[in-house]
């Protein structure tokens, strides 16, 4: 029997998810042995036209990582969707928007102005910015459109499963691949990691008191981090409570707080909003002045609470027009 065909693709991505597959280490040999990789831009030399030539649905599963920022990414995502039985959103960016989606707090114009015109080291006297169509030397050149907004994968195609994480851990990947190969998958739309707070498996949870009160929000550079104590109890914002379990708490074990890459549990609509509500309520102080003082320590709430989940959030992105004060 032919081995199932598998494809990997990266959209707006740092490459870490591709690394994660490679990081399966010895497990990767099992994977490679079990499947037939037909498309993997980071590692193998297959072309788009190779994919276009395949029969619809002939790829058993496509793992697509990265957020969707350009027209090309959308097109290839749609192509792979047509050609695949299953599509798995691989990693935080494709599941939630990820780090690239923080760009939603600014605008395409601002990004272009900065990158191509105003950056201190740019020399661009003619003010040339990328265009979808331009004429050069008599030839018409096209570039994929750079969208106004960073999307997550399921904004542009139908997604069957989500592997969360920045990047997903080797265990999670191996489990997912095995589940697919064995046909033992949960209902469509499932996120392939436990539906519980990270606190559930965090070693430091015992040290969290039953009356946490944050008197001052500290950043990881402000204090010497206690390697055994719950971060919230130290005044450090840890996204663990609002983040799915399943990563093995690797950041915590590295003495750094969770930043939320696995996204929210199924019962939450908006990870950042939830964390704002949770953290807000445990701020110490009854008077407005005292409360305001503590909140001064949250220097970039949007970036902190929506670090990975901007595209998945209820607001999605900042308003593009400026509002008067």
Partner 1 sequence: MNNFEPKIVAFTCNWCSYAGADKAGMMKLKYSADVKLIRVMCTGRVDTQFVMTAFREGADGVMILGCHPGDCHYRTGNVKALKRYKLLKKTLVQFGINDKRLKLDWVAAGEAELFQKVVNEMAETVKELGPLHLTGNVEQGGK
Partner 2 sequence: MNVERPKIALFLCECSTNISNFIDLPAVADWAESTKDFCFVEVSNLLCSPDGKKHFAEKLMEHKPDGIIVAACSPKLHEKTFQDIAEEVGINMSRVQMANIRENVSWVTKDKKKATEKAKAMIKAALQRVILAEDLEKVTMEAIPDVLIIGGGIAGIEAALTASKAGRKVYLVEKDVSLGGSVIKTEEVAPNMECSPCLLAPRLSEIRDDPNITVLASSEITDVLGFYGNFLVKVRKKARYVEESCIGCEACFDVCPVTVKSEFHLGLGNRKAIYALFPGSVPASAVIDSDLCKHFIDNSCDACVPACPFGSINFDEKDEELEINVGALVVATGSKDGDVSNFAELGYKTIKNVYTLPEFERLASSNGPFGGKIQLRNGEQPLSIAVIHCAGSLREDGIPYCSGTCCVDAIKVGELVRKQIPAAKVFNVHNDLVFVGPKENAFYRKQVKDGTQFIKCSDLKTIQIIEKGDKIRIDGKGFKSIKVDMVILSTGLEPASGTNELADMLNIDLGKDGFFKADHDLLNETGSVLEGVYVAGCSAGPCNVATSVTRARSAVGDIISKLIPGREIELEILTSVIDEEKCGACKLCISVCPYKAISFDEEKNISIVTEAICRGCGTCVASCPSGAAKAKHFTDDQIYAEIGGLLYE
Binding site for partner 2 (CB under 8 A): 195-200, 205, 208, 210-213, 232, 240-242, 245, 264-269, 274-275, 277-278, 281-282
Nearer to partner 2, 8 or 231 (CB): 231
Least Å distance, CB 196 to partner 2, is 4
Nearer to partner 2, 94 or 197 (CB): 197
Tokens of 247: 């990563």
Least Å distance, CB 201 to partner 2, is 9
Instruction: For 264-315, give the DSSP string.
Output: --TT-S-HHHHHHHHHHHTB--SSHHHHHHHHTT-S-HHHHHTTTTTTTSSS
Least Å distance, CB 153 to partner 2, is 23
- DSSP letter at 296 equals T
Least Å distance, CB 277 to partner 2, is 5
Collapsed DSSP state (helix, strand, coil) of residue 213: coil
Least Å distance, CB 216 to partner 1, is 14
State the pairing for strand pair 133-136/139-142: antiparallel
Give the containing element (helix H, strand E) for 162. Answer: strand 161-163
The count of other CB atoms within 10 Å of the CB of residue 278 is: 13
Query: Which residues would be at the binding site for partner 1 (CB under 8 A)?
Result: 104-105, 148-149, 151-152, 154-155, 268-270, 272-274, 276-277, 279-281, 283, 285-286, 288, 291-292, 295, 298, 300-303, 305, 311-325
**Cα 284 from Cα 291, distance rounded (Å):** 7
**Cα 95 from Cα 176, distance rounded (Å):** 15
- DSSP letter at 55 equals P
Q: Which does 196 bind (CB under 5 to 8 A by kind): partner 1, partner 2, none?
A: partner 2
Nearer to partner 2, 38 or 198 (CB): 198
């Amino acid at each position: 029997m032919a081995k199932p065909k598998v494809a990997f693709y990266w959209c707006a991505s740092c490459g870490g998810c591709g690394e994660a597959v490679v990081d399966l280490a010895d497990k990767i040999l099992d994977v490679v042995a079990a499947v037939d990789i037909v498309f993997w831009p980071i590692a193998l030399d297959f072309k788009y036209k190779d994919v276009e030539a395949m029969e619809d649905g002939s790829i058993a599963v496509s793992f697509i990582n990265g957020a969707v920022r350009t027209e090309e990414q959308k097109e290839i995502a749609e192509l792979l969707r047509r050609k695949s039985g299953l599509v798995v959103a691989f990693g935080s960016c494709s599941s939630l928007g990820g780090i690239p989606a923080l760009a939603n707090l600014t605008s395409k114009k601002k990004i272009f102005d900065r990158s191509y015109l105003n950056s201190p080291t740019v020399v661009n006297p003619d003010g040339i910015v990328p265009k979808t169509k331009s004429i050069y030397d008599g030839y018409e050149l096209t570039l994929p459109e750079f969208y106004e907004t960073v999307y997550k994968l399921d904004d542009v195609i139908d997604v069957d499963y989500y592997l969360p994480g920045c990047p997903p851990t080797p265990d999670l990947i191996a489990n997912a691949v095995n589940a697919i190969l064995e046909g033992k998958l949960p209902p469509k739309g499932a996120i392939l990691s436990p539906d519980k707070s990270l606190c559930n498996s965090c070693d430091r949870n015992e040290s969290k008191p039953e009356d946490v009160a944050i008197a001052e929000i500290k950043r990881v550079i402000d204090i010497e981090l206690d390697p055994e104590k719950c971060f919230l109890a130290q005044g450090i914002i840890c996204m663990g409570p609002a983040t799915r379990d399943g990563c093995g708490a690797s950041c915590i074990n590295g003495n750094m707080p969770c930043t939320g890459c696995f996204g929210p549990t199924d019962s939450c609509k908006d990870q950042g909003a939830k964390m704002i509500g949770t953290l807000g309520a445990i701020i110490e102080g009854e008077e407005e002045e005292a409360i305001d003082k503590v909140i001064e320590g949250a220097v970039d709430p949007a970036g902190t609470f929506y670090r990975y989940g901007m595209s998945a959030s209820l607001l999605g992105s900042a308003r593009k027009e400026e509002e008067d004060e």
